[in-house]
Amino acid sequence: MFGNPKLLFWITLAGAVIVAGILLLATNKWWVIFVPLLLHGVGSTLVTKGFFKVMDERDKPDPVTQARLDEEGKPTATS
């Protein structure tokens, strides 16, 4: 396929944990560590939903193929 999605997940999660640690040290508040982790979860969810939405779309045939299908009486390919 297009690489290893598990590796990408772990790398971005590690990045979010590093950012959370920096924020924790800068603000000296323990609850700040959850902000980057929450943003990472929301971002991952939105990207995954968008990916599956795009993958669910169907390609439409070109006009010549569509005209041939219409002449043969076959149903049109619509999304």
**Model confidence pLDDT, tens digit, residues 8-51:** 777 777 788 788 888 888 888 888 778 877 877 887 887 788 77
- Residue 79 predicted with pLDDT over 70: no
> Higher model confidence: residue 13 or residue 2?
13
Instruction: Give buried/exposed letters for 5-26 (b at 16+ CB in 10 A, else e).
Output: eeeeeeeeeeebeebbeeebee
Q: Give the whole-angstrom CA distance, residue 67 versus residue 70.
A: 5
Calculate mean pLDDT across residues 60-74.
83
What is the dihedral sign for C-alpha 6, 9, 12, 18? negative
Distance between CA 27 and CA 30 in Å, rounded?
8
